[in-house]
Structure 1
Amino acid sequence: MPMRAWMPGVETAAGYRRAWLGRDVTAGLVLTTLLVPQGMAYAELAGLPPITGLYTTMLCLLAYAVFGPSRTLVLGPDSSLGPMIAAVLVGVLGSGGDPVKAIALGSMLALLVGVLMTVAGVTGLGFVADLLSKPTRIGYMCGLALTILVSQLPKLCGFSVDADGLIPEATAFVRGVAAGEIVPAALLVGGSGIALIKVLQWWLPKVPGVLATVVVSIIAVSVFGLEGNGVELVGALPQGLPRLTVPHVSWSDLGVLLGGAVGIALVSLTDTISNASAYAARSGQEVRGNQEMIGIGTANIAASLFQGFPVSTSASRTAVAEQSGAKSQLTGVVGAVTIGLILLFVPGLLRNLPLPILAAVVIAASMSMVDLPALRRLRQQRRTEFSLAVVAFLAVALLGVLAGIAVAVALSVLNIFRRAWWPYQAVLGRAAGVSGYHDVQVYPDAEHLPGLVLFRFDAPLFFANSRVFREHIRRLARTDPRPTWIVIAAEPITDIDTTAADMLEELDEELTAAGITLVFAELKSMVRAKVDRYKLTRTIDPTRFFPTLDDAVASYAARTGADWSR
């Protein structure tokens, strides 16, 4: 495979247009105003020093510019991954009190995520993103938003709690409030930050609300002397660029990190595919799912080698880049270089940034993760899928972030299996004014031929649903008057496994003994080939297979002389 296929950024550079340069540079500079505060805030959310968020942002943008296929997507630390990272590093491995250990564990986690996603991309395993259905993902994100909100409330109020998990953290926060630990100045700064971000998002969406909030808060610290009133500040960042550091952890920690990496990779992959599809549709680009995984994977690996942690695509940052006129991956490169220049020459630029403002940035992001209109739509359109969303929400809220993602995946898989296990089944008839044969539940006045039952089973026949199929046919065979033919409208049956084949053979013998003929119509050629290979035609006469329902109905009418009736 040519190098350009593995490195789409090289192909973009070869075909780069001079007219794009001004827009890419402008968009990169605008994007930086969002990358810096969000990178620092999401690092704290993940239980890591704020500076690691800037290191992570720089390296993942540079790597994706080379290996990522999308000219639009922007990567970086993400609010949906932060609690998952913290759940592994702080909640399970207890790294909260040792930043050096936390950075090493976070870097190894990013390396594992990167390797998993790169291998998945090379081997074409992008379909695993389908393991998170939209309803369960909506519920999961709502639970995640609540978890993030509660975890940031103490920081917003100027104190800290020693607890892990939604309920323990909420309880500890209430106790802290009752004990009078709130710092009024911190709460004022944090609350005002949230209000300013949301107001600007609603009223002036073209104004970078996060940047405006950061600038206003830094000015307020200087003007009102907030540091003397108990408001903690970020302080000066380390000067210079991160050093190349190969992650190293103990073997006992590696197993826990790998389990967390699987969940993080799945969420990151789902975010990436959904965002790539949305922006590709708007820009006319083609989604290259496997290459996207390679791009995200290499971005995580690059971040892991420079004290970084797992990253994903960001819908909000991508939207900012697009609205600012971004034309290619150069936008991300400009953002990364600008962050590097800040660290090299003006590391004290954010010295007076209040920590409650970082909490405000995270809380504002978590509020945007809740999709209430989608929940209302699910409740109105399909209660079962709404129930899945609710269960996924409760799993995250009550069991924790990592257990929540496991439950969400399990629910999605079980929902798929449920639909195949108990598929929709229908008796068909001829409805007035409509061609073909249709469900009598929808057309209760549909006509039928006496002695003939047309039955449709909307799923492949396999071991799990073969009993359901057999019992339904038996019920049809016991109706009064007893049918002469039961015709299976087999077009939806896309497969028959050996268990189902054995069931059909026994069922046919049972029906034949009762004077009822089992007939198949519209069976797909590949399924018919399996029927022949299973030697079902030993008991089921080959003449009982018809190419269309019309042919089967015409044959029955010709043999019996039956006429249509209600």
Structure 2
Amino acid sequence: MVGTVTGDVVFQGSGAESNEMESESMRVAFAAQLTILCGLMQILLYVLRCGGVCRWLSQPLVSGYTTAAAVHVTVHQLPLLMGISIVRHRGILAVFWIFLNIASGIRRVLPATLVVSFVSLVILAGGKVLNSCWSTRFPIPWELVLIIFATVSSVQFDLSGQYGIQIVGPIPTGLSPPSLPSFFFSQELFLTALALAVVGYGLQASLGMMFAHKHGYPFHSNQELLAMGLCNSIGGVFQCFPVSGSISRSTVQESTGGQTQVTSLVSALIILLILLKFGPLFQQLPKTVLAVIILVNLQGVFAQVKDVQKLWNTDRLDLVVWVVTLLSALVFNLDLGLGIAIVFSLLTIVFRTQRARSSVLGHIAGTDCYRDLEKYANVIYLHTILR
């Protein structure tokens, strides 16, 4: 979304005579401007206490939405697992078009890439099984072990040159100097910044609520708005893109045992060291290894499909919300799909209020309890009391 918008603004503002280097620098400047605008809007939403919009995100909606997001991530990782290049699609039915492109390019699959993917999958999945059986207190970081093993193997056997396996490639080192971009195109970027602020927060809130429900801790919606606003406002000064929750990275961190802010702090420091000094060490890392790490750690998100049976037995209207959320996020992409899901969820609330259920309660002999006469046989109907 950011790339599409910045490209359109560059085309409007630079004209046909602009060379490629100038267009690229303008893209970076517009992306930084978009990031700062997005951050300022999120801070404004925090001041207005708009984090309460999370009340509209019911548990079935969050479950269906994060499952759809996991499907998006999986489909985008499949070409890396098979070593093929495809045309990327955006907008309506993007996931299905990408899947069709993958199916049409199945003959171009690189056997060497499939072998690396399979070996990586066996190492990572097997390592997680070992952790669950014997290393519950001090689990081995198999993701890190796999990355080191794959990088060393790629260098030793020249996987890129000899077998054509895609690698990460050059990683620029150093940080961009802080600078405030010009806000000349603020009017053109305003609506996009607002959409990014809202949709980015919606995805962040969905992930936060999912993990909060799983691990039993509170989720502070307004605090998330402030955190995202500060990250975007400060990040834009360093030419960063707008940030939000990443389902792939979040699941990797959660599955490796990270549950506190210390984990994110350590991760940020390691990334900073890589940017400043150690980036070239990972240039030979095969991309398919990263895809395997992401897919293996998404299994916890896909496990939410089990909610379908539970919702069928308890509340079928919630099941409809789950299915509609999943389909809308798959068909209309994550941003528009989230809006459709929220509107549909609100309509179900209206439907429930218009069809409120009432029941006659009967007394359970020897107690002060009353239960529904239609559901319980051994209750006594009292003609003089209706509760």
Instruction: Give the TM-score band, short-chain normalised.
Output: 0.7 to 0.9
| Alpha-carbon shift at residue 352 of structure 1 (Å) | 0.6
Quote the Cα distance in structure 1 between the aligned partners of 2:327 and 2:83. 29
Question: In the TM superposition, what are the counterparts of 1:366-445 in structure 2 within 5 Å?
Answer: 366-370=298-302, 371-430=304-363, 432-435=365-368, 438-443=371-376
Residue 204 of structure 1: SS of its match in structure 2? helix
TM-score (norm 2): 0.78
Quote the Cα distance in structure 1 between the aligned partners of 2:255 and 2:169. 30
Aligned to 1:133: 58
Quote the Cα distance in structure 1 between the aligned partners of 2:195 and 2:52. 20
Aligned to 1:269, which of 190, 193, 205? 205
Aligned to 2:177: 243
State the identity as a percent.
25
In our comparison, the structure showing a higher alpha carbon Rg is 1
Residue 49 of structure 2: SS of its match in structure 1? coil
Aligned to 1:298: 230
Quote the Cα distance in structure 1 between the aligned partners of 2:73 and 2:255. 22
Deviations 1:465-504 (A, max 9, x none): xxxxxxxxxxxxxxxxxxxxxxxx6xxxxxxxxxxxxxxx
Quote the Cα distance in structure 1 between the aligned partners of 2:130 and 2:173. 37
Quote the Cα distance in structure 2 between the aligned partners of 1:117 and 1:142. 25
Quote the Cα distance in structure 2 between the aligned partners of 1:176 and 1:94. 28
Aligned to 1:171, which of 100, 105, 110? 100
Q: RMSD between aligned alpha carbons?
A: 3.3
Deviations 1:397-425 (A, max 9, x none): 22222222112212322222222221112
Aligned to 1:157, which of 77, 82, 102? 82
Evaluate the alpha carbon distance shift between residue 436 and residue 220 of structure 1 in structure 2; reply closer, same or farther with a 3 A threshold.
closer
Aligned to 1:144: 69
Quote the Cα distance in structure 1 between the aligned partners of 2:56 and 2:24. 34
| Alpha-carbon shift at residue 363 of structure 1 (Å) | 2.7
Aligned to 1:197, which of 108, 115, 124? 124
Evaluate the alpha carbon distance shift between residue 404 and residue 192 of structure 1 in structure 2; reply closer, same or farther with a 3 A threshold.
farther
Quote the Cα distance in structure 2 between the aligned partners of 1:418 and 1:257. 33
Give the AA of the match of 1:145.
A
Quote the Cα distance in structure 2 between the aligned partners of 1:124 and 1:402. 22
Aligned to 1:230: 164
Answer whether contact 1:431 1:443 (CA < 8 A) is retained: no
| Alpha-carbon shift at residue 133 of structure 1 (Å) | 1.0
Quote the Cα distance in structure 2 between the aligned partners of 1:408 and 1:99. 36
Evaluate the alpha carbon distance shift between residue 266 and residue 247 of structure 1 in structure 2; reply closer, same or farther with a 3 A threshold.
farther
Evaluate the alpha carbon distance shift between residue 209 and residue 334 of structure 1 in structure 2; reply closer, same or farther with a 3 A threshold.
closer
Deviations 1:135-175 (A, max 9, x none): 12211122222222112212222222113111111111111
Quote the Cα distance in structure 2 between the aligned partners of 1:453 and 1:342. 73
Aligned to 1:121: 46
Q: Which has the higher contact order (CA 8 A, sep 6+)?
A: 2
Question: In the TM superposition, what are the counterparts of 1:3-82 in structure 2 within 5 Å?
Answer: none
Deviations 1:5-58 (A, max 9, x none): xxxxxxxxxxxxxxxxxxxxxxxxxxxxxxxxxxxxxxxxxxxxxxxxxxxxxx
| Alpha-carbon shift at residue 89 of structure 1 (Å) | 3.1
Q: Which runs of 5+ in 2 are unaligned?
A: 9-19, 133-138
Question: In the TM superposition, what are the counterparts of 1:448-487 in structure 2 within 5 Å?
Answer: 448-449=382-383, 454=386
Quote the Cα distance in structure 2 between the aligned partners of 1:105 and 1:200. 44
| Alpha-carbon shift at residue 296 of structure 1 (Å) | 3.2
| Alpha-carbon shift at residue 231 of structure 1 (Å) | 1.2
Segment of structure 1 superposing worse, 254-263 or 435-444: 435-444
Quote the Cα distance in structure 1 between the aligned partners of 2:57 and 2:307. 16
Aligned to 2:17: none
Residue 426 of structure 1: SS of its match in structure 2? coil
Select the structure that is richer in helix.
2
